Structure 1
Amino acid sequence: MVPSLPVIFVVSADPAVAAALRAQLPEADVVHLRGGDELLREAHAQLPQVVLLYEKTLGPPLAEVLGILRQRAELAATRWLAVGSVGLGELLLAGADALLGSATPPAALAAQVRTLLRRAQQHLQLGERLGALQGRMDNWEHEERVRDQLVHMLVHDLKNPIAAVMGLLQLVEDDPSLSGESRELLRLCRDESQHLLHLTVNMLDVRKIQAGKMNLRRELMFSPMFEELITLACGDVGSGLRERRVEVEVERDLSPVSADPELLRRVIANLVSNALKHTMGGGLVRLEVGAEPAGIRVSVKDDGEGIPPEDIPNLFAAFEQSRLTLHGRFDTGMGLAFCKMAVEGHGGQIWLDSVRGEGAEFHFTLPYAQNADEDDDFAELLS
């Protein structure tokens, strides 16, 4: 297909000026128009890249016509050149891009028109690129909405059956007539069901945080609350933790932090679950909560095999996990991704220290409460 020539309108009562420009610009389709009426009509039929507006024309004033055409979105790339010696101020005010005198030689006029043609073509190319990018953005947003809806439906459809299975397993496990072997198998089933529930909830919460839909329900938290929180989080991990040595140390009289207790409970549970995954029976899992200059630090340490250095940079990304694990349990990697997003949502930081053969230490910080209202609440609690 032969590409069409760029279109140039020459609006003038004198057809000779259009003929002279046509001779200088064989690479363009130069169209002569006698005045404003023809310009309005032809601008609807074809879109010009450059329009030359001469001072002597027929019909309505060109300044009025230009004001009308400048409002049309499809003519946004068109460049308007006023040519003459008097009465062109109104054209400039109406939106003309450039002004040339009527005595300009044809070669110089053609050079100016070529410059405006390049600008018009660049504008069209940028518009096409912007349209393509906008189309890709629209497709991406549509895919994100579909993905969010799918994850939301999947998680909600899974949560209730899993919770029901866990409840039934607990009832059967409490049956005194069960043999020890059967009770152990039921315990393993319940632990795996609990793990599956954590996976589904983490998937939903990561999507919520990414979409900015996770609202923090902050409370002032003191040392006793962290002790209680750790106890609850360890209970969420499952009975496999009973096979580990668990140590907890919470510093006394910590200054309060403003945090969402339920979210922190799940952060700690995910970190303890990760430590469980990397240690063998009889291994050590140690939790510490202590003061830092700008806030408190929560640490979860284990004495497992550690995490390879090459795995550490991407460890907090969704669908990433260390390749070195001591158990075959599948994990999506959403747990650590959730931890990172939840901690950073509180204004804190999370990181990992690990040495192969010496275990891993996950740390995260929470800034001290600074809000004036929270300080007032703190004062009331102490009074």
Structure 2
Amino acid sequence: MDSVLGWPHSSFDESLARAVDAQRRSVLGTGAAVRLVGAAIFLVVTTALWLSGGADWAPYPPLLAPYVGVAGVLFAVRHRPEARWLGVVQSPVDVALVYGLQHLALPISPFPAGVAGFSLGLFALVVNLSGLTLRPVVVYGTALLASVAQGALMREAGVGWGAVVIAVITLFLVAAVKQYSTARLRMLAGALTRAEVDRALEARRSQEVEEARRTISRMLEEEHAKNEELRALQRDKELLTQFLIHDLRSPLSALTMTLGWMEQELPPGPLHESARSGLTVTARLDRMIADLMDVPRLEQGRLTPRMAPLDVSRLMEDVRRSLEGVARARKLTLDVVTPISLTLNVDSDLLTRVLENLATNALRYAPTGGRVRLEGGRDLHGAWVAVRNDGPPIPRELRPRIFDKYVQGDRELDTRRGYGLGLYFSRLAAEAHGGQLSVEDAPGWSTSFVVRLPA
């Protein structure tokens, strides 16, 4: 009989199935709660908009009201065995609801293209919720249904095929990311089950001293083997990560080319501006991918900055322009203050990505209507560049750790935004220049990130 660490293989499979089933029931309960609360909020908001004179919101309450009832039933039976299958059925119901709502809203809306674009976010949310079933076929099936429905809405609104294709690709990318996180959850359940089996095996064999000695010896050998396997897996994981990051650039390049073509072909107007904004976003995504690839090289000291004279004022102005759309959307003031002539001998690409990371972080935390400033200068210790904002200050107890790998503030942990790599990369890039990145106090600003470079 096959065995896992001395236990029958069937026992391990049963334990794994129970662990996965427990996780599935837990996340399905979460999904039921999200559906119920979200549908109730949408019902209240759309009803209020309708009653306040918004005629184009009239189709929403009649469809949302029964859906709230269905979501309530699903939440009530979330702990029963039938809930597993109700969760599977719920995904196509979600797609049908979104399509029905938007289909009814399109003819009476003064902005049908906006309604169709709004649908993409709703369908992405539905695809994410389908991942809570822990079933790949449900995730990709929901993405397929959502793509068909989104395409139909966009064509009905008169949107071109290029935008439809981009929307479909977006939905399947959401499904792929969601499925990857689901697979990681199953792996975690398997690892926890294996640990449980190990503990039970050790307890059973501890009855006899001699047997325990042999068991410990064997376990030590196994642990050494596991360590070797873990090291090999770590190498494979890093290699796979590099491959995945590298492969991400292919669709990103295709998307950039498509947006570039759209920018050239579209007449001046909202769509032309959207294509231009998309090109700005894809450029930032490409630099983010470069950050991910460069972090291991910076950690190991294998990335040497390519030093060359650089006009810091021009660099900061380029960064400001690239983020101007984000600042405008949040009604933030984003300005640049540097001496007339501030030239530094630095790696232009690395310093650009550092400033973009810090500026993006500042824009995220600055309050609506607030200020963000890119600033540079020299003092007795050398040259410096800073990114300041008037958002919430960083707690002093967090400042020594804020630049460590995977460290995030409470707000990021609560909203699950970011992965704690942006500031870590920025610190490594500053140190590669022989400088340092720190949080400093500055008059009139609650938060200031300062990169100090050697004279």
Give the TM-score normalised by the residue count of structure 1: 0.52
Query: How far 1:248 sits from its partner (Å)?
Result: 1.4
Partner of 1:367 in structure 2?
454
2:304 aligned counterpart, secondary structure:
coil
Please tell me whether the aligned partners of residues 313 and 341 of structure 2 are also in contact (alpha carbons under 8 angstroms).
Answer: no
Partner of 1:230 in structure 2?
316
Partner of 1:168 in structure 2?
258
Higher strand share: 1
Instruction: Within 5 Å, give how 1:116-265 maps onto structure 2.
Output: 141-172=231-262, 176=266, 180=270, 193-221=282-310, 225-237=311-323, 239-242=325-328, 243-254=331-342, 257-265=344-352
Partner of 1:305 in structure 2?
392
Note closer, same or farther for the CA distance 1:238–1:288 as it changes in structure 2 (3 Å cut). Answer: closer
Partner of 2:435 in structure 1?
348
1:319 aligned counterpart, secondary structure:
coil
Indicate which of 322, 341, 361 corresponds to 2:409.
322
d(CA) in 1 for partners of 2:272, 2:441: 36
Query: How far 1:276 sits from its partner (Å)?
Result: 1.1
Deviations 1:204-229 (A, max 9, x none): 111121132212111234xxx11121
d(CA) in 2 for partners of 1:219, 1:164: 31
Deviations 1:314-341 (A, max 9, x none): 3212223223269968322211111000
Partner of 2:375 in structure 1?
288
- Alpha carbon RMSD of aligned pairs, Å? 3.6
Partner of 1:117 in structure 2?
none
Amino acid in structure 2 at the alignment position of 1:228: R
Ranges in structure 1 where 5+ consecutive residues have no aligned partner: 1-130, 369-383
d(CA) in 2 for partners of 1:340, 1:230: 18
d(CA) in 2 for partners of 1:288, 1:141: 44
Query: How far 1:270 sits from its partner (Å)?
Result: 0.9
d(CA) in 1 for partners of 2:322, 2:348: 14
Please tell me whether the aligned partners of residues 218 and 258 of structure 1 are also in contact (alpha carbons under 8 angstroms).
Answer: yes
Please tell me whether the aligned partners of residues 191 and 240 of structure 1 are also in contact (alpha carbons under 8 angstroms).
Answer: no
Please tell me whether the aligned partners of residues 280 and 326 of structure 1 are also in contact (alpha carbons under 8 angstroms).
Answer: no
- Count how many residue pairs are aligned between Structure 1 and Structure 2: 233
Amino acid in structure 2 at the alignment position of 1:218: M
d(CA) in 1 for partners of 2:413, 2:325: 17
Note closer, same or farther for the CA distance 1:210–1:172 as it changes in structure 2 (3 Å cut). Answer: same
Judge which range, 138-147 or 300-309, deviates more: 138-147
Judge which range, 209-218 or 163-172, deviates more: 163-172
Deviations 1:133-187 (A, max 9, x none): 997875565344223212211111012312321342344356556874x567656
Please tell me whether the aligned partners of residues 291 and 425 of structure 2 are also in contact (alpha carbons under 8 angstroms).
Answer: yes
Note closer, same or farther for the CA distance 1:283–1:361 as it changes in structure 2 (3 Å cut). Answer: same
d(CA) in 1 for partners of 2:381, 2:263: 47
d(CA) in 1 for partners of 2:317, 2:250: 25
Note closer, same or farther for the CA distance 1:202–1:265 as it changes in structure 2 (3 Å cut). Answer: same
Amino acid in structure 2 at the alignment position of 1:166: T
1:197 aligned counterpart, secondary structure:
helix
Please tell me whether the aligned partners of residues 320 and 336 of structure 2 are also in contact (alpha carbons under 8 angstroms).
Answer: no
Note closer, same or farther for the CA distance 1:238–1:319 as it changes in structure 2 (3 Å cut). Answer: farther
Higher helix share: 2
d(CA) in 2 for partners of 1:321, 1:187: 32
2:305 aligned counterpart, secondary structure:
coil
Q: Give the greater-gyration-radius structure (CA).
A: 1
Please tell me whether the aligned partners of residues 257 and 295 of structure 1 are also in contact (alpha carbons under 8 angstroms).
Answer: no
d(CA) in 2 for partners of 1:189, 1:350: 31
2:386 aligned counterpart, secondary structure:
strand
Deviations 1:113-141 (A, max 9, x none): xxxxxxxxxxxxxxxxxx99997875565
Ranges in structure 2 where 5+ consecutive residues have no aligned partner: 1-220
d(CA) in 2 for partners of 1:154, 1:238: 30
d(CA) in 1 for partners of 2:237, 2:321: 32
Query: How far 1:250 sits from its partner (Å)?
Result: 1.6
Amino acid in structure 1 at the alignment position of 2:372: V
d(CA) in 1 for partners of 2:272, 2:415: 22
Amino acid in structure 2 at the alignment position of 1:247: D
Note closer, same or farther for the CA distance 1:166–1:327 as it changes in structure 2 (3 Å cut). Answer: farther
Instruction: Within 5 Å, give how 1:75-90 maps onto structure 2.
Output: none
Partner of 1:82 in structure 2?
none
Partner of 1:272 in structure 2?
359
Partner of 2:163 in structure 1?
none
Note closer, same or farther for the CA distance 1:262–1:286 as it changes in structure 2 (3 Å cut). Answer: same
Note closer, same or farther for the CA distance 1:265–1:287 as it changes in structure 2 (3 Å cut). Answer: same
Query: How far 1:280 sits from its partner (Å)?
Result: 3.9
Please tell me whether the aligned partners of residues 311 and 323 of structure 1 are also in contact (alpha carbons under 8 angstroms).
Answer: no
1:166 aligned counterpart, secondary structure:
helix
Note closer, same or farther for the CA distance 1:186–1:257 as it changes in structure 2 (3 Å cut). Answer: closer
Partner of 2:182 in structure 1?
none
Deviations 1:31-71 (A, max 9, x none): xxxxxxxxxxxxxxxxxxxxxxxxxxxxxxxxxxxxxxxxx
